[in-house]
Amino acid sequence: MGKSKTTAAIAMLLILTFAISLVTLPTANAQSTMKTYAFIGAIPNPVGVGQEVLLHVGITLALQDVSMGWEGLSVTIEKPDGTTETLSDIRTDSTGGTGRTFVPNIPGNYTLQTHFLNR
């Protein structure tokens, strides 16, 4: 009986030590500065006129919570005839990326550029 009381006392001491160390740990709420880069990819590439293209748009930095997302992204699409089209108000998911579709209406090379204004 004496041995089990000693074991129980040691176990209780270890549990209390662990619990106290969790409570007394200092917390830090630091804000860091990190460079982020906007990206874009077109799938499939090449594609024909009237066919859907999936644009993978986003920021190279994932976020901590699944309910969060980067906001304020836009994509400028320069068409072969020199005109432009803008896809705006794009919000990513927490991984930093999202998808949009685009359907080219004239043949030729299109130039895509992603913009992100970090507020």
3-state DSSP call for residue 43? strand
What is the pLDDT, as a whole number, of residue 58? 94
Q: What is the DSSP string of 66-96?
A: TT-----EEEEEE-TTS-EEEEEEE---TTS
Whether the per-residue pLDDT at 25 is higher than 80: the answer is no
What is the pLDDT, as a whole number, of residue 30? 63
Which distant-in-sequence residues (6+ apart) come within 8 Å of 93 by Cβ? Answer: 66, 69
Predicted TM-score of the model (pTM): 0.67
46-89 pLDDT tens trace: 999 999 999 999 999 888 888 999 999 999 999 999 999 999 99
What is the pLDDT, as a whole number, of residue 35? 82
Q: Where are the domains of the chain?
A: 38-116
Indicate the CATH number for domain 38-116.
2.60.40
Kind plus residue range of the DSSP H or E element containing 21: helix 2-24
Whether the per-residue pLDDT at 27 is higher than 70: the answer is no
